[in-house]
Each structure stands twice: as C-alpha cells, then as structure tokens.
Amino acid sequence: MRNQDQLCSIITIGDELLIGQTIDTNSAWMAQKLNAIGLWVHRRVAVGDGWKDIWSTLDEEGKKSGIVLITGGLGPTADDITKPLLCEYFGGKMIVDPGALANVKHIFEVILKRPMIERNLKQAEVPDVCTVIQNDRGTAPGMWFEKDGVIYVSMPGVPSEMKGMMDLSVIPKLKERFQLPPVIHRTLLTAGVGESFLAERIKDFEEALPEDIKLAYLPHYGMVRLRLTARGGREGLDQDIDQRFKQLRDSLTDVLVADDDKSMQLVVGELLRARSKTMSTAESCTGGYIAHLITSIAGSSDYFKGSVVSYANSVKSGLLEVAEDILMTHGAVSKETVEAMALGANQRLGTDFSVATSGILGPGGGSPEKPVGMVWIAVAHGAHVASRMFQFRFNRERNMEMAAQNGLNMLRQFILERLPG
Amino acid sequence: MRNQDQLCSIITIGDELLIGQTIDTNSAWMAQKLNAIGLWVHRRVAVGDGWKDIWSTLDEEGKKSGIVLITGGLGPTADDITKPLLCEYFGGKMIVDPGALANVKHIFEVILKRPMIERNLKQAEVPDVCTVIQNDRGTAPGMWFEKDGVIYVSMPGVPSEMKGMMDLSVIPKLKERFQLPPVIHRTLLTAGVGESFLAERIKDFEEALPEDIKLAYLPHYGMVRLRLTARGGREGLDQDIDQRFKQLRDSLTDVLVADDDKSMQLVVGELLRARSKTMSTAESCTGGYIAHLITSIAGSSDYFKGSVVSYANSVKSGLLEVAEDILMTHGAVSKETVEAMALGANQRLGTDFSVATSGILGPGGGSPEKPVGMVWIAVAHGAHVASRMFQFRFNRERNMEMAAQNGLNMLRQFILERLPG
C-alpha cells in the first residue's frame, strides 16, 4: 500500500460553486463520515464545468490520494459533462444499466406519477467500466471506478442523494477494503473567553501533547471550540486522548459550555429536558431565529412550546402584554421592554423559561443614543428576570447570529443558576 | 500576459474545513466579488494545517493561476503555521509592521479595553517581502506577495475580516491592475417545474447560444434557477446577453418567480412593499424559520409585523384562537387547523396577509394516517384563505426548507392573485 492510499481527495464539480451561487455543504459531511472509518481527507478541490479542468484534476488528485470522491455534474440537463468525461477517462463505453433504468422508471411511474422523457431515460446510461452505485433518492446513478490502484467514486451533487449513496454503499465498501482505526475527535465548547487568552491558559497542556494528538482552536460567534484529534491508532491512543480531554475539560470548567461537539441550542434543550421544564422565546430583532435554532433539533417539542416574534410594537403590547407606557417611555430597545417581553412570554405561552431580544441589527435604524448593533437580551424564569445589553459591531447577519448565540448562552446560564443540578 | 493570469485560485487552510467541522462560506462570497471585476475563479482548494500540504498547494496553484487568494491560518493561536510558511516560501524575514501594531493596540486599548498579551503583539509581525493589508475588523493583518508574476494574497479566515480586506484593499488593487470587462451573470428563478422538463422547454434557446454565453441549471428545494453567464467582453456582449435573457424570461412566464437572482423571501417582501401591505406568520412545524427568512432581509420591518410560533396546541388555541374543537376533531396537522392558524394570525397581529404551517418533519412523530413529511400550509388575506397539503420525503432539515420555500411561494402566488399589479 502506498503512503497516500488512505488519503482522500474530494472533487466538487460545477460552476455554481465557483461563482458563489452555491455553498458546498457536501464536503464537510463526507469528511466526517470518512474520518469515522479512519480515512483522512487531505484535499478538497472545486472545479468548474470545463472538460480540461475536470480531466487534469482527476489526474492530479489521483497522484496525491488513494481515494478520490467526486460530487456534482450528474443531473439530467445539458450543462453536465461529467459522465461522458468519466467514460473516456476510464476508457469505457456507455451502456444502459438495468438497475439504474428500473430505478428511473420506478421514480417516474410510482413516485412522481409523471411521464418520462428521453432525457430521464438517458440517466440510466453508465460507462461499462464502472460498478454502479444505486441511487434510492433520485434518478442519477453513482459510479465506482478503479485505475492504477486508485479508487474514484462519482456521485450526484444533490445532498440527499449523495448522502444515501455514501451511507448505503460507499462507506461500507471503503470500510471493508481498508479496515482502519477511526480518526478520533474530541471537542469541547467554551464561551466568554477569547482565543488568545484560552491559548495562554492551556499552553502547558498543549506543549505536552504527543505527536499523534493535535489541538485546534475554532472560534465561532463569541464562542471557541477546542478540538483534540488523534490519528494512527497506536496502542492505548483511545485512553490517552480520553484522559487528556478530561484534563483539558477540568481546567476550563469556568468557561465550559459542553464537553462534546454540540450546538448551544442542543445544550439548552438537554438542560430543560433533564429538569422537565419548558421554554418559549419573545423575539424582536432576532425575528424568530432563536426559535428556529431550537426547533432545528428533533424532539424539541418536548420542551419548546412556542414564540411570539414581535417586530411591531403593537405585537409587543397586544400579544406579550408589554405595557404601552413602557414602550412610550423607554422605547422598544430597552431593558424595561425586553424584560417585560420575557415575562410576558412565560405568562402568555405558559412556559417555565423564556428568552427575549430587542435591538437594532442594521444596516438602518440606528440613532446616536441607540446605535446599530445595540441589542438588549432578557431571560426569565417565572417572575424572575435578568437582562444585559450588548453592543455588536458587525453586519446584520453576524449581529443576528451573535444576538441569538448570546441569548441562548444567557438562557443556559440562567437555567443552571436557578435550577442547579 | 500569460493566458492564466486572469484566472484565480482560492486556497482555504485549516483542518476544520477538512474534517467537516466548518463549512466554507468565504469562497462563494469571494468568487462573486472577483467575477464583478472580470476575474474568473477556476479552482478552489482546501488543505489542512500541514506544512508540506500548504507549500505544495502554493506551488501548484501558482502554476495554474495568476492570482492566488488564501484564507485561514492567521489567528493568534499555535495551530497557525501559515505566516512563518509564507515568510519562508517568499524568502523574507519577519519584522514588526508599525501599522499592524498600531491596529492591534487600538483594538485592545480602545475597543476591547482589555490587556494585551505577547501572543496578540506577535500578530503585528509580517514577512518583510509583503505589502501589508490593514485589517480594520480584527488583529491579524493581511499580506500581498508577488512571485514569478503571480499575485498571492493571504487573509484571515474570519468572514467579516476577510470581507473588509477584500472590499477596501484587494478588489480595488486587482481592479486597477487588470482592468477587465466584468463577467456578466443573469439569473432567473422558477418554481413548480423540474430540471429535465425545463430543459426540454428551452432546448432550442439553449442550442442557439453563442460560445461565450453559457446556460446553467441550479435546482434548489423545488425551485430551479437558470443562469446565463457571458465572458470575454466582445463588442455587443452586454446587449446580446440582455436580449437572450429577455427571450428566456418571456418563454417561461408561467413558472417565473423572479427575473433576478433573488430569494423567495425577497420577492414576497417586494410584492408587499409595492402594495403597502403587511404580513405575519403562524408556524408550527417550521418553528419560526419562515419568520427568520423574512427578517433576514434588511428593512423587512416595513411589511413584517410578527409571528406566533405555536409548537404546542395550547399556543395555537391561546394566541391564535384556533377553536379547541377543531384541534380535537381534526388534529394539529389538518386543513382546518392550518387555515384557522392563518386567519388567527391576521386577526391577532393585525396584518393583511399571513402564512401558516403545520406538519410532521421527522424523524419522529409520524403515524399511518399522518406520516413523516406531511405538511399542511395555508395562506390568508383578511378572511380569505387557501390551503394545500404537501408530502415531503426527506430528512428533517430538508423537509423544513421545503415547507418554508413552498409556504413563501404560496404566499407570493396568493398576493398576486388577490391583488394583481
């Protein structure tokens, strides 16, 4: 086995990735799956729809990696050149694959109940030099090629289709072929302390790490993730990384949010679930984003009852019962209003805990007294309420994210404070 | 000038991009900015934090492109090897840059009001062979190098910092140097017809396109974007693409959502603004996601008044006034409930239009009568209401996106139907 046989390259094909019309979320997902079976992605390359570009990229990545995974360029329309190119590259000729044909027919006749056109039938054609990977979520088949000891797998760019093929076919085949110890990741989440200060605190820990365990800092909207990664599978590596991870965690208890690679919304949900408590949100500037983060977690209906998004003042007074004179005297972006919103949410939605936001995310709407980026956040437990003012200084999108993450973190801290353990 | 001088490669550095912990959104943004000044990104490469990998990638991309933009690997912590590597690669030695030093000091003393540590001061060091690009949003300076006629620019991976440098320094410098006609993109958005059927409809149009205008199909959650791209700047190209775009648009009026690269939420907002009408949402299964999409648009407070996210039935009846017997008789996921939610939203939030959702996104919660993926959506205008049932068959995340996009599209169609022109 060559040194690079266990290294993977991911190639994504499509001009939409190059001109910024689409963001590649496939590669991140694929890398996690590959890591879990011990395969390391060391390069990811995006190229356009040009024949020469794709061809030379196949050549180059095949020299650097033992496994080359390709996504994109397999749809039914004419901008797709990937399949004929792969056919020529691997020296085959196009044939109709009976399994792929049956699949296309099944999708149109049974699921979509629509007539097929020639273009759809053509999707069942594959080079005769590949092993076909069936697609149970779409019409385009995947293709597995081998050449000069390198494995090439071509899959559609549609995320659900690619994921189905990886889970059902590609990962099991690779796992059987390579039989490697997994790459081990251990991640913890901190909030409230900057990257450089964290680094100072754990300097000695970091310097004492062995060669096969690496530490990385991943800052993310006011939080920092710390990740230990162990590769190679030496005797005792499992225990070694576990022990070091425990040591790291124990030295950071004051800033620790979670000792796993969790999102803030998942941590909040787990705290509520463990205490059999419910929550709601009352959102002005975050416009439903906190509710969206909470409900992106499956099973969140166990603890999340709902929200009032109160962009207009009439909704703050009408549905959250914020007194008109509070709005008049202090304005919508104020300690008084946001606290009344949080209290009103618990009362009107019948929840134990709530988080409320009111602020100016920009670009418009600021004033000398209340500049863009000023956000008030309150958390409430029954009739107990706490609030804090933040001054963010970014664009709308980032201010939204900062407000939501800080709101969730305040809620987390308030739950722990009010109902410890 | 070599042929590839106007071609760009983007290199992103960081293991977090390779193991799937972070999704790269920088490259898409950068590509759009580069296209606007006529520069074409033909490759995007992500590599890990390894010295050899980064070094060889600099070599390779420098052979393929005249401009190599690098992001990542410039934070204050020890996992960053990019700066010393660049120093050695371009044959310089490290010196303190007075401008960068003043910037680091300013950030700590004036903005953060925190003491600095050695690690922060070190960020002001740069190779003496680069032109420093000041960072007005963070502590790490950017660096502009030239070698063998190739431009290399290194920037931090934090999106806001990278964007600041691109807008203020990198794009203006590249624009002055190359003076190219912009790459012209024209995009339209369709809904309700599949990629292969669209392709059949516009086959003749596509075949008649000249060499320097390309058509691409970009499917996205039940919609398809069609994009024309013109490169090269021949005489009359502007007018040619405009005229062909008009022809394309006119042939697709029945499925056209927008004749620009707009999101569905922006289209809905524009329709409401033009009619001086307001809207609200009443969301069960989408959990605030539609409200979030609407409020991600700056200025949406002009037409969006708020939402009730009613995950719990008690919130549906308490805040949206859905009659208890409707919930009892038909259940939360039903035509009757979702129509009552939409009507209740208009009434309780005082809006002209509303959209309501109720369904089962999965993975849990399904039953034989109401399987996972079943979503009811209603739209209302005053006391007029319309609804439709959808059966999605994907995972939670994709079902959420499909429900939100279809809800917005139903709202768009209802606005046009109720208040045409």
DSSP per-residue string spanning A217-285? EEEETTEEEEEEEE-S--TTHHHHHHHHHHHHHHTTGGGEEESSS--HHHHHHHHHHHHT--EEEEEST
Residue A79's pLDDT is what?
56
**Number of Cβ atoms within 10 Å of the Cβ of B235:** 7
Q: Do the beta carbons of residue B73 and residue B140 sit within 8 Å?
A: no
Quote the tokens at residue B401.
Answer: 């996106």
pTM of the predicted model over 0.90: no
Contacts of A301 in chain B (CB under 8 A): 311-312, 365
What is d(CA B98, CA B125) in angstroms, rounded to the nearest whole number? 9
Best of A284, A311, A360 to disrupt the B interface (most B CBs within 10 Å) is A311
Chain A stretch 312-371, residues whose beta carbon is closer than 8 A to a beta carbon of chain B: 312, 314-315, 318-319, 348-350, 362-365
What pLDDT, in 10s, does the model give residues A24-42?
Answer: 889 989 998 998 899 999 9
Do A311 and B300 lie within an 8 Å CB cutoff?
Answer: yes
What is d(CA B306, CA B289) in angstroms, rounded to the nearest whole number? 12
Chain A stretch 266-285, residues whose beta carbon is closer than 8 A to a beta carbon of chain B: 281, 283
- What CATH architecture is B184-258? 2-Layer Sandwich (3.30)
Best of B3, B16, B19, B37 to disrupt the A interface (most A CBs within 10 Å) is B19
Quote the tokens at residue B103.
Answer: 């910037």
Do A20 and B42 lie within an 8 Å CB cutoff?
Answer: no
Local confidence band at B51 (pLDDT 50, 70, 90 cut-offs): very high
Closest CA of chain A from B31, distance in Å:
5
What is d(CA B139, CA B144) in angstroms, rounded to the nearest whole number? 17
Of A21, A25, A400, the CB nearest to B23: A25
Of A303, A256, A279, A287, the C-alpha closest to A355 is: A279
Cα–chain center distance at A21: 19
Query: What does residue A415 show for φ and ψ, rounded to 5 degrees?
Result: -60, -45
Local confidence band at B258 (pLDDT 50, 70, 90 cut-offs): very high
Task: List, in order, residues 6 or more apart from B183 with CB less than 8 Å away.
Answer: A19, B35, B36, B38, B39, B40, B229, B230, B231
- In the three-class reduction of DSSP (H, G, I as helix; E, B as strand; rest coil), residue B348 is classed as helix
Query: What does residue B382 show for φ and ψ, rounded to 5 degrees?
Result: 55, -120
Q: Do the beta carbons of residue A312 and residue B318 sit within 8 Å?
A: no
What is d(CA B301, CA A349) in angstroms, rounded to the nearest whole number? 24
Chain A CB within 8 Å of residue B391 CB: no
Contacts of A47 in chain B (CB under 8 A): 42-43
Distances (CA, A) of A303 to A269, B175, B337: 7, 53, 22
**Lowest model confidence (mean pLDDT) among A69-83, B58-72, B208-222, B271-285:** A69-83
Task: List, in order, residues 6 or more apart from A278 with CB less than 8 Å away.
Answer: A272, A303, A304, A305, A350, A351, A352, A353
Query: What does residue B49 show for φ and ψ, rounded to 5 degrees?
Result: -85, 15
What is d(CA B284, CA B310) in angstroms, rounded to the nearest whole number? 5
What's the full length of chain B, in residues? Answer: 421
Do A20 and B29 lie within an 8 Å CB cutoff?
Answer: yes
What's the full length of chain A, in residues? Answer: 421
Residue A360's pLDDT is what?
96
Q: Which residue has the higher pLDDT, B346 or B5?
A: B346
Cα–chain center distance at A360: 27
Quote the tokens at residue A100.
Answer: 């792929």
Q: What is the separation, in whole angstroms, between the first and last Cα of chain A?
A: 52
- In the three-class reduction of DSSP (H, G, I as helix; E, B as strand; rest coil), residue B309 is classed as strand
Contacts of A319 in chain B (CB under 8 A): 306, 308, 319, 348-349
- In the three-class reduction of DSSP (H, G, I as helix; E, B as strand; rest coil), residue A336 is classed as helix
What pLDDT, in 10s, does the model give residues B75-102?
Answer: 777 557 899 999 999 999 999 999 999 9
Local confidence band at B379 (pLDDT 50, 70, 90 cut-offs): very high
What is d(CA B122, CA B108) in angstroms, rounded to the nearest whole number? 14
Cis omega before residue A363 (within 30°)?
yes
What is d(CA B65, CA B45) in angstroms, rounded to the nearest whole number? 12
What pLDDT, in 10s, does the model give residues B236-245?
Answer: 999 999 999 9
Task: List, in order, residues 6 or more apart from A323 with CB less than 8 Å away.
Answer: A317, A340
B121: closest chain A residue by CA: A196
Residue ranges in chain A modelled with pLDDT below 50: 1
What is d(CA A308, CA B306) in angstroms, rounded to the nearest whole number? 7
What is d(CA B316, CA B326) in angstroms, rounded to the nearest whole number? 11
What is d(CA A152, CA A149) in angstroms, rounded to the nearest whole number? 10
What is d(CA B204, CA B218) in angstroms, rounded to the nearest whole number? 19
Of A229, A240, A214, the C-alpha closest to B77 is: A214
Q: Is the pLDDT of residue B385 over 60?
A: yes
Domain boundaries, chain A: 3-178, 184-258, 264-418
Which residues lie across from B145 on neighbouring strands? B152
Do A21 and B187 lie within an 8 Å CB cutoff?
Answer: yes
Which residues lie across from B281 on neighbouring strands? B307, B355
Which residues lie across from B152 on neighbouring strands? B68, B145
What is d(CA A313, CA B391) in angstroms, rounded to the nearest whole number? 37
Torsion of the alpha carbons at A132, A138, A139 and A144, rounded to the nearest 10: -20
Q: Is the pLDDT of residue B14 over 70?
A: yes
Average pLDDT taken over every residue of chain B? 92
Secondary structure (DSSP) of A23-85: ---HHHHHHHHHHHTT-EEEEEEEE-S-HHHHHHHHHHHHHH-SEEEEES--SSSTT--HHHH
Residue B1's pLDDT is what?
47
Residue A2's pLDDT is what?
54
- In the three-class reduction of DSSP (H, G, I as helix; E, B as strand; rest coil), residue A387 is classed as strand
Q: What is the separation, in whole angstroms, between the first and last Cα of chain B?
A: 52
Contacts of A30 in chain B (CB under 8 A): 20
What is d(CA B21, CA A219) in angstroms, rounded to the nearest whole number? 11
Q: Is the pLDDT of residue B36 over 50?
A: yes
Of A62, A82, A227, A211, the C-alpha closest to A146 is: A62
CATH topology of domain B3-178: Molybdenum Cofactor Biosythetic Enzyme; Chain A (3.40.980)
Quote the tokens at residue A170.
Answer: 């590609």
Quote the tokens at residue A162.
Answer: 């690619």
Contacts of A214 in chain B (CB under 8 A): 15, 79
Q: Do the beta carbons of residue B167 and residue B20 sit within 8 Å?
A: no
Closest CA of chain B from A163, distance in Å:
11
Q: What is the ipTM score, two decimals? A: 0.84
Instruction: State whether the Cα torsion A249-A251-A253-A255 is positive or negative.
Output: negative
Contacts of B200 in chain A (CB under 8 A): 117, 119
Local confidence band at B25 (pLDDT 50, 70, 90 cut-offs): confident
Do B306 and A301 lie within an 8 Å CB cutoff?
Answer: no
| Domain B264-418: which CATH number of 3.40.50.150, 3.40.50.300, 3.90.950.20, 3.40.80.10 | 3.90.950.20
What is d(CA B224, CA B201) in angstroms, rounded to the nearest whole number? 13
